[in-house]
Structure 1
Amino acid sequence: MSDPKAAKRIVSGLSRRWQAVVAAGLLLTAAVSNGSPVQAATAFPELKLFSEDWKPYHYVEDDVVKGQTADLLEKILEKVGSTQTREDIVFLPWARAFREAQVDANTVLFSTGRTPERERLFKWAGPILKFDSYFIGKKERNFEIERSEDLHQYKVGVVIDGASAVFAKRHGIPEENTTFNSQGIFNVKMLAADRIDFIPIQWKNFARLATKAGIDPTEFEPVFLADTVSLNFAFNLETADGVVDRFQTALEDVLGLQEQAKGETPTREVN
């Protein structure tokens, strides 16, 4: 109620006991109307934080959790009033983390590609950033792929429940030509050994995995665009909307401050 006089008339016409109740309600309404941070009085719940080892976004090095998304997460948690830190992140193989994130409320999986196929599986906060993923193959094969149908004759390696599996299905790769692995590095090794022909993956991530496996990434190349991926924090569906909204607001505030510090127009997209 925006009219103070009208509010006073309502309160004065009630018993003393109800005057106190209504007055408290009016104060809360006024605080919300004026944009006061009344939600700060509500403690932010402890979150289960699941992720995978994915350099440079989130990874463990010398027993220390590092990475730009881990940095971002820690700032978000601080902003919402949580006492949790990057040390609360649990690193799991992606397929297991993906399943675990769908079990309990207040569970967060990151960095998760937000695709139409996953849209209803989670509540979302983001984006953290965006990038292109490609079907990557060997340079020496001189592939000529102009449309999705041209891929159907080839064998494609994907990660179980990963974005790569989504891309392969979306582009119509036959199931008999799709190889599923629990980790991306296994696909890279199979590609180098000519056991598969393509991996749908971000180039930087492919190069990192290839180097880790002792494989020269310069022997491979992006052949065909798989999709433009938006990375996000994915919340279990049982998580309260208010929790996700507070996290989203904090995310936007942190990213906005980072861009302002760079002297740039705030944006959350990196292609």
Structure 2
Amino acid sequence: MRNALILMVGLLWPCYTIAQTTQSSFLRIYTEEYAPWNFTREDEVTGLNTELIQQLLDKLSLRGRFEIVPWGRAQLFTQTQADSCFFSAVRSAEREKLYQWVGPLSREYVQLFSTDPAHPKFNQFADAAELLIGGQTADAYTDYGMEQGLKIERIAEIPVNLAMLQLKRIDLWLAGSVGGPYIAAQKGIRIYPVASSADVFELWMACNLQVPEAVIDNLNRTLQLSKQDGTLDAIMQRYQE
């Protein structure tokens, strides 16, 4: 009986391994419209961080499906779908235990922007506490701004923030130091930073806790190699041209 049980386990083990590999070889990857890190171009999800993640998947023979959704929904899907991740996310203390992390993919500061080149500048965010700031729903940058004493109206979509800034329905817009100007320029809008965070924020890919740990480890290991072999530099160069 014992030998029969061992034989049965031996026969089933390869099947289990194949199933586990198949399950972990595909990832649903969510993000938002936040150029240049992640955005839609000609109905395809692209961007600096998107291309970097795709390179990691290719090197590991993993398949991924990228999808643009509202930022709050990206986080909800990743928490409730076992084979899912989202990016470009700040790795905050509140989020730390909710996900497994791959990164950092990139870095930027948080800034306050105006459409007026002559707008007074502030030494710190708290100096703008009397102004109405446009921020984003379920956003770590917005959380940071509120912790600094800013009065922020949370808005679901980034383009709406820009429109409200142009219409002067908000006084300033809170966004990343790289992403904010890039998005505005794509829409033909010139914005000017009037305050900057003292802290730099790293952007990561956050994955569901059920994604196999080996997949996360391999992604992180391959990411570090990509930073060393010039892959990341080559991608960044394309977005600076």
TM-score (norm 1): 0.70
Q: Partner of 2:226 in structure 1? A: 254
- For this pair of structures, how many residues does the alignment match? 220
**Residue 211 (structure 1) shift:** 3.4
Residue identity matched to 1:193: L
Q: Partner of 1:159 in structure 2? A: 136
1:145 aligns with 2:89: no
Q: Partner of 2:237 in structure 1? A: none
CA contact (8 A) 1:126 1:248 kept: yes
Q: Partner of 1:58 in structure 2? A: 38
Detail structure 1 runs of 4+ shifted over 3 Å in the superposition.
138-142, 211-214, 259-262
Instruction: Considering Cα pairs closer than 8 Å and 6+ residues apart, tell me whether 1 or 2 has the greater RCO.
Output: 2
**Cα RMSD between the aligned structures?**
3.0
Cα deviation digits, residues 197-231 of structure 1 (max 9, x gap): 222212332223323444333xx324232641101
1:200 aligns with 2:174: yes
CA distance in 2, matches of 1:226, 1:192: 27
Give matches, 1:75-90, under 5 Å: 75-82=55-62, 84-85=63-64, 88-90=65-67
TM-score (norm 2): 0.77
> Looking at CA atoms only, which structure, 1 or 2, has the larger radius of gyration?
1
CA contact (8 A) 2:90 2:202 kept: yes
Q: SS in structure 1 opposite 2:35?
A: coil
Residue identity matched to 1:160: T
CA contact (8 A) 1:117 1:166 kept: no
CA distance in 2, matches of 1:89, 1:232: 15
Q: Partner of 2:239 in structure 1? A: none
Residue identity matched to 2:177: W
Residues 90 and 144 of structure 1, relative CA distance in 2, 3 Å threshold: closer
Residue identity matched to 1:57: W
Cα deviation digits, residues 14-70 of structure 1 (max 9, x gap): xxx8xx99xxxxxxxxxxxxxxxxx99x72432111112333323322233332322
Q: Partner of 2:155 in structure 1? A: 181
Match of 2:200 among 228, 232, 237: 228
Q: Partner of 2:49 in structure 1? A: 69
Residues 50 and 223 of structure 1, relative CA distance in 2, 3 Å threshold: same
Q: Partner of 2:26 in structure 1? A: 46
CA contact (8 A) 2:226 2:232 kept: no
